[in-house]
Structure 1
């Protein structure tokens, strides 16, 4: 019936976002874990290999799939089993390294940095055009708190292979923040350097808005009076302009085409509501189709609950 098409879609976490093939693989892995194991290792490895062999040269999609798989498999035996069985498989090497990085982020340190670095370099040697070993190595450099000259060296290797790699830009943004190895000034300079060159719908288009949301969160974290008036952040020129540049384009059908477009729409919806721009947020919430990303919603509680309550306040789908 016609009225059903306008009903609000149920909010749900979906790490695969709109990648149906990746979603099928994750469901298959979930099904095999219900008995307490991943079932036959060979079957799981074959499924992962098949997925990662798809779309050769689509580095954006490949980065997304490896990132999601690594997060899902963090703590699993599968990545190490794969690289043990196939030590010359680029997919196995990259997924192993990326999974080690995911674990390292959770623990605050890498268990075996030398092993992770070796996997990255071996994969880079076997597949010179592939940016994903270098993206993983960039994350290693951050966790290891390497000097900026070393980090920028790895960063340049990524850009030489994938000019607008989303994961790499966000990784550098975090590295240059005061919380890691940089300063607020370095963050601003990094974001400013993108403006003139980056296509409006590039995979890394959310870098500027991410920087503004992170700054907003840092104000909230201070507590007290500053946290009470944190919304004022969005009325300042840089934050308001960052929103203005994307508020009316990102939610247009087909404008954002990269693998993590739905994650960027989640970020935009969050920022628009933080800025009390509810009318603009409605179309963005509609464009997400109810797919929820953990960040930035989890900063205020359960991400699905926060997304749904905020969406209701915007009036989307009502």
Structure 2
């Protein structure tokens, strides 16, 4: 339904939304629960069957008494072993009394039980699933007991025990005993507190009041900067989002507001992009958005960067999709609430960390288009995104990348989708050829197949992720095979099914599709085509002028703008057609006995020819 307010907010959105996307990573760079570098190395090795890095990683956390980090690593390794258990079985076979291996096995038992039960509400879980769930939890008891005995000073086995108590519906005295054991080993362990909080919530064995009282008491007793200050925020999400409590529910709304403010004070102790606080920021962004505090929520999304977490977004549906949708919605709301000629909130620059590249340097994309450079340049001339084009080594493919603006503050876009994917969706429209957009994010590789404006297929090789599902992989391979006229889909399936050596698999896919080899600079810098022979920029006049200004000021400027010399007959034909259609349109609109369809067609034709003339004039060779 039309609202008069939209006459104000819509122009604001168009003006400010692109600016507000600066500082937000593209959608393709966001990965749920992305592990840190040490854990990622261990997961990558485990995917290849090598448990040694995982053993060394957990041993270091145990000897260093890094209990919070140990809890994170154990949980991630157990979840990874859920669908790829070979490395853990080999580890336990080689060292059955290894305290770290047994601890991962204990947590794996819990994950296996919940995999059977699912995360659905109890009324939606079948009796067979419940029977399997309780059987696996019963089988986990001796494994958890062994983990406790082998790790006598470690609170993490007791976090596993607390989770087991919740699932097995253990009575309160059992839970209290586990809780005392956990706090005796680490009185401020966040993982144990978070597990206990779930036991005490209303949907399990407590109440909203008991849950909040527990969270607030723990936060009041915590040191400044402790993650325990986030417990009231977790309780607020459980109350307002999971339990869907109404505003006039049993709890004072001021307690929700206080939990959010306490969390804001907590995250202020951490730098933007810090992985340790990412889960708290994700919960905080959701609650700020629900409260209509759009600017504060956008600041948290910028600080989150690529570190989206499964929760709390999984409470609302597909976690990654919900995260991206909320992020876009918050940005649009900030834009619509910023005065048309006002200045929107600016992103806070991330601190420079030596040896730790940001997503801006890690994520890059390059499209391989099955058409010549002139053909692609013609199709991209109307694109709002400045693009750099270069001819592939085989002479009949074109390489395309986004030409970054010399001013980082001008690199925003209306949508946070990868700008090259968005551009490919435009320049492939009504064309017969396809664009394969290749991605690189850290040690991950992937691609998006775009044809006629549609995304036909997407895939990612992640060395730290389980092997992709065969059915989904087959569907992707078949879509690629149809697009490139390949009869035998089996080699493509083999390439997509593995995650080891992602760069090689991506390069092998390019070769299998009979495309030119990728430039050696792809993945080493944001703009891989800069400096290649014949590389050209296709950009609108305003953007091109901005690059010229940067070049004149001595800044590093991109390659020369794309030029194309049209033949004389091309100019002659259009110079004759333009006045003809213009005159026909003027006469048609003034005549009384002519239907409006004819002058409308003449007007559209005159506009189309005029657009071609303007484009040809802009792309003419200079000098």
| TM-score normalised according to structure 2 size | 0.44
* Counterpart in the other structure of 1:293: 309
Structure 2 residue 57 is matched with structure 1 residue 48: no
What is the correspondence of 1:69-84 to structure 2 with a 5 Å cutoff?
69-78=77-86, 79-84=88-93
CA distance in structure 2 between the partners assigned to 1:10 and 1:231 by the alignment: 39
Q: Which residue of 1 aligns with 2:96?
A: 87
For residues 132-211 of structure 1, the aligned pairs below 5 Å read: 132-211=156-235
Change (3 A) 1:232 1:264: same
1:111-122 to 2 correspondences below 5 Å? 111-122=135-146
Residue 4 of structure 2 is matched in structure 1 by none
Q: Map 1:51-66 onto structure 2 (within 5 A).
A: 51-55=57-61, 56-66=64-74
CA distance in 1, matches of 2:286, 2:222: 23
Bigger relative contact order (CA 8 A; separation at least 6): 1
Which structure would you say has the larger Rg?
Answer: 2
Q: Secondary structure in 2 aligned to 1:204? A: helix
Q: 2:318 is matched with which residue?
A: 302
Where 2:55 maps in the other structure, the secondary structure is helix
Given that residues 270 and 277 in structure 2 are in contact (C-alpha distance below 8 angstroms), is that contact kept between their aligned partners in structure 1? no
Task: Provide closer, same or farther for how the CA distance between residues 302 and 240 of structure 1 changes in structure 2, counting only shifts above 3 A.
Answer: same
How far apart are the structure 2 equivalents of 1:178 and 1:231? 17
Gap change, CA 1:218 and 1:46, over 3 Å in 2: closer
Question: For 1:23, which of 40, 46, 49 is the aligned residue?
Answer: 40
Q: Return closer, same or farther for 1:236/1:125 CA change in 2, 3 Å cut-off.
A: same
Describe the shift of the 1:286–1:234 C-alpha distance in structure 2 as closer, same or farther (beyond 3 A): farther
Structure 1 stretches of 5 or more lacking a match?
33-39
Kindly state the Cα deviation for residue 119 of structure 1 after the two structures are TM-superposed: 2.2
SS in 2 for 1:291: coil
| Per-residue deviation, 1:167 | 1.8
Q: Distance in 1 between matches of 2:296 and 2:265?
A: 8
Is 1:264 paired with 2:280? yes
| Distance in 1, Cα, partners of 2:89 & 2:139 | 11
CA distance in 1 between partners of 2:155 and 2:200 (Å): 21
Deviations 1:274-316, CA, capped at 9 Å, x for gaps: 1111111122111112211111112333322222232233338
Unaligned runs of 5+ in 2: 1-18, 118-132, 332-344, 348-411, 413-623
* CA–CA separation in structure 2 for the residues paired with 1:282 and 1:102: 33
Higher strand proportion? 2
Q: 1:58-110 CA distances to partner (integer Å, 9 max, x unpaired)?
A: 11111110011111221443334433432210011100000111122232325
SS at match of 1:88: coil
TM-score by length of structure 1 reads 0.82
Pair 107,200 (structure 1): closer, same or farther in 2 beyond 3 Å: farther
Change (3 A) 1:232 1:275: farther
1:99 alignment counterpart: 108
CA RMSD after TM alignment: 2.9
Counterparts of 1:206-225 in structure 2 under 5 Å? 206-220=230-244
Distance 1:6 1:256 in 2: 15
